[in-house]
Structure 1
């Protein structure tokens, strides 16, 4: 196929949201999808409801070999199988590649495939849910942060971010993207760990005092890993107010987590972590590339993260023993 402005890999919630908005805005988009979902999108188009309400057709590819060149390659699959996915796309010529997946391992994989100079960091305070009907419920449109890994503000990255933002998915170019990715990851690990073990919607486990305490302790463990890696965390509120959670007393930190729960109850009362959606749908969990990645990094540094190790073992057991 001819060069597209955007190629989006994965037709789940966020991939569908990005593709639909970019197509509606007039950009050329190739959407790589598989199996039943690919057939569904070909027949019915992308159907979005919630924050935005519209439907649009989109070009669907099922074979990565069909994609040869694109301006921006966006990886929007779940993290399991990421190495194999990128291996199948290593031939593609890209101006820039970014991933909206959870965690921070994604940047390493993209840099290994396309080079660090063509890799953009990214983190999404944007979410949705792929419904059984094939529609996508667009639940949060706060910000998609994107940036060059070396902190520059290149014209190429600026144009990509502007196109996404103008299309209706809020996006911002940031010079400190690595710090922001790690700041989100440090808080996200506690969220996903309690979401999978309690199986509760987001505001409920955040509001529970014992769950909030565990989130605080997990967040502090992950912050010690970031510090050991020389990564400066930002006071980013995309997940939690890190300043209070990391530097305040434990009681103050727990109160901050519970306050986040109250905010979710008011603003997104039905929000479920994507990991919980995967668990309930019988899909593979994104734990080995996220929690497992953090533990592997800690082991390289001879750093002990005992609470994270315990949750990783528990969630791994849940993943292996649940009904699929």
Structure 2
């Protein structure tokens, strides 16, 4: 089977690491942007399986170019096109909270299912949807866990008495997976409601952090507001140091500065999103997933019409 990775300039380093792990060729997709904001996309012909690599942070312009690339690859002879989007945008809105709202998860999922034969992402930020396959009907889909990658990153210099902290109840799966891989102690914060408008973050068992380092572990860092609340509680409880680790870091420079001022001494993330915190390559985990991914290993294929 012939396979090639095709990547955009914003994913060059990560795509090359994946290509090296698998041992296949890596080609850059050329993009020319016109003054009116439109893009001309050119992808080298690929006769076998084309693997398109692009993380979808800041997604709006990226999505259009991604669909143009898929069309160019299909027209150029690709029999199958697999999208690897380490960060998959628009997954948080899975219902309409107010009348008239679009359910972005459904829209983007159907869009991906229409243009690609398979989708691989990393720790998608899903709430009420339990399986990525539900979002992209009719194609193979896989959510890769970054827990092992994060554990390997932390293991290099983590003190034995370090306590891992989940910043809210939704973080429990991620912090549990990382803690189990490291054999580390863990605590998970909870939001408790006192009256109609008073919601407070508490960390049951927080007294155990006194004199110990604490690392806040989550799937996603965005504005960092919840992490700041956690850091305040941990500092007041006597933690000897506070860090944060996440799969995806979408925080802007101002957000990261605020986290540093709030007492978080170091922030590290997986390289699913490029940026100053990206410290752990996800390439090995993606390569392992791809080698066992049906859309990649399956030899037969029904052409799309």
Select the structure of larger CA radius of gyration.
2
Q: Is the TM-score greater than 0.5? A: no
The alignment's TM-score, normalised by the length of structure 2, stands at 0.35
Higher fraction of strand? 2
Higher fraction of helix? 1
